Amino acid sequence: MAPTPAEQAAIEKAISEVRQIPPRTTIIEAGRPLRHSALIVEGLVCRTISDRDGLRQFVGLHLPGDFVDLHSFVLQNLEHDIASVTQARIAIVPHIGMDALVADVALARKLWFSTLLDAAMHRAWLFRLGRLDAMGRMAHFLCETNARLRAVGLSDGRRFTLDLTQNDLAEICGVTSIHMNRILRQLREENLATMRSSLVEIIHPGRLAARGQFDGSYLYLDSPDLPEG
Amino acid sequence: MAPTPAEQAAIEKAISEVRQIPPRTTIIEAGRPLRHSALIVEGLVCRTISDRDGLRQFVGLHLPGDFVDLHSFVLQNLEHDIASVTQARIAIVPHIGMDALVADVALARKLWFSTLLDAAMHRAWLFRLGRLDAMGRMAHFLCETNARLRAVGLSDGRRFTLDLTQNDLAEICGVTSIHMNRILRQLREENLATMRSSLVEIIHPGRLAARGQFDGSYLYLDSPDLPEG
DNA sequence: CGATCGATTGATTTTTGTCAAAGACGGTGG
DNA sequence: CCACCGTCTTTGACAAAAATCAATCGATCG
């Protein structure tokens, strides 16, 4: 479902501007009506829902190449926040331009597909939060992220950089940052993965996937399997 | 985004058959290629992901009028299971027929919208699992379900029937059924809601919503607010 | 009537959160 | 260059939440 070069060109033509976003900046606040969508050129962007104390739950994490809020084109507004994690560059695509894009039925179908992939990822995250313990959640998240980064050439299948603090990871996995710290130590001690200052190394991809009960088929990547280990 | 009568008729014309499904029956198993989608006419249908021990996590619950697996039309297969909870009647819409339906751009947009609503609900569930304690999760779920049932005339805003066992509720909230039993008692003791043999009564909608930090705007219902209490 | 499934309860263990305090590290300004 | 500061990480002690183990109870069904 990758766009053809022509489709890619059409999307790029619909970009009205590219914005530079500082790290840790709210890009879109929940509830505001939107007249454009955003495509990540560079950096990490997160989608979060905050509880009444302002504590956040990540409901998505987006990498370069992802449409962050394509759904806002159809829904008109968002029920969650979008914020940069790292420094980021995002391309703005006005909804008016999107209207022209979806006139092309094939492209419309691909955009729909892209939002359905997001939904599939949401479901995998639900499984993670609902059925796994803290260590399983982290293992699952690392496997997913490794697979996604690999698909865009940002991981070699074992090592990648991921600019997330332990607090971010905690907000992803629905645990406290203190507990996340202990989980990371455990992953290290059990020789599954290490994570030091944004460098992640997966020592035993197979065992990590088993620990997190990870099956990446929902990502629809044609990723070559890693050797067991 | 409700379909017009004409669109409704077109959808109904695309139905190839209506199936009667016994309770507790798997309708679609994860990973199978699909050539049709299913629309619920009557009954409760759930979407679940199972862990390696076969323990399930609900990732969605569908009511009459919902397309259960509209996304399979675009994705071609599912990464989760679909099963009946109660006795159900589902209308089968072959994907071939769907192709004809989405030729109508306005209807295509509405179907897209419907899958985006699902995704928004997924995100609300992520918040529930990630940020709320067991009682908050149950409170949130009851509020959501009350709002949804009300929209289709199956709740008066305080009372409705919901044919789920305590084990189902546990699989929705990501806790054990034993713990769910204690949560239900607590909800009763704190005069928030009662649930006895599939009859749910919400005693203080306002307080229950507060306990579950529920804000139903993601459901896109034009529901009149309930009196506080 | 026995069998089965779901609901309920108690006792106990495990997991996770909370509170409190250091330690590490990079960046900034003097 | 170095002291200071803020942010992130790490650790310990303790409390709370949830899981687990083990029964019992109650209703429904063949």
What confidence tens digit (pLDDT) does each residue in B15-36 have?
Answer: 999 999 999 999 999 999 999 9
- Please give the share of chain A, as a percent, with pLDDT higher than 90: 93
DSSP letter for B104, please.
Answer: S
In this prediction, residue B224 carries a pLDDT of: 54
- A181 CA to C24 C1' distance (Å): 15
Task: Choose the weakest-confidence range: A54-58, A142-146, B148-152, B218-222.
Answer: B218-222
Q: Of B134, B127, B218, whose CA–CA distance to B169 is shortest?
A: B134
Q: How many CB atoms lie within 10 A of CB B35?
A: 12
In this prediction, residue A222 carries a pLDDT of: 74
- Specify the nucleotide whose C1' lies closest to residue B196 (CA): C7
Check whether B225 has a pLDDT greater than 70: no
Chain A residues with beta carbon closer than 8 angstroms to that of B127: 49, 51, 57, 59
- B168 CA to D26 C1' distance (Å): 20
**Which nucleotides in chain D lie less than 7 Å from some protein C-beta?**
7-12, 17-22
In this prediction, residue A224 carries a pLDDT of: 54
Sites in chain A below the pLDDT cut of 70: 223-229
Contact, B93 vs B38, CB < 8 A? yes
Q: Of A162, A127, A159, A163, whose CA–CA distance to A226 is shortest?
A: A159
Q: How far apart are CA A63 and CA A68, in angstroms?
A: 9
Please tell me which of the candidates B132, B174, B220 has its beta carbon nearest to residue A130. Answer: B174
Chain B residue with Cα closest to A214: B51
Q: How far apart are CA A115 and CA A212, in angstroms?
A: 25
The verdict on a CB contact (< 8 Å) between B126 and A129 is yes
Where does the pLDDT of residue B228 fall: very low under 50, low under 70, confident under 90, or very high at 90 and above? low
In this prediction, residue B223 carries a pLDDT of: 59
In this prediction, residue B226 carries a pLDDT of: 53
Please tell me which of the candidates B57, B131, B217 has its beta carbon nearest to residue A51. Answer: B131
pTM across the whole model: 0.96
In this prediction, residue A178 carries a pLDDT of: 98
Mean pLDDT of chain B: 95
In this prediction, residue B173 carries a pLDDT of: 98
Chain A residues with beta carbon closer than 8 angstroms to that of B100: none
Which residues lie below 8 Å from residue A13, measured CB to CB, with a gap of 6+?
A: A97
Q: What angle do CA A129, A32, A172 make, to 5 degrees?
A: 20
Question: How close is the nearest chain B Cα to the Cα of A201, in Å?
Answer: 25
In this prediction, residue A1 carries a pLDDT of: 76
One-letter amino acid for residue A181 of the chain: N
Q: Three-state SS for A128?
A: helix
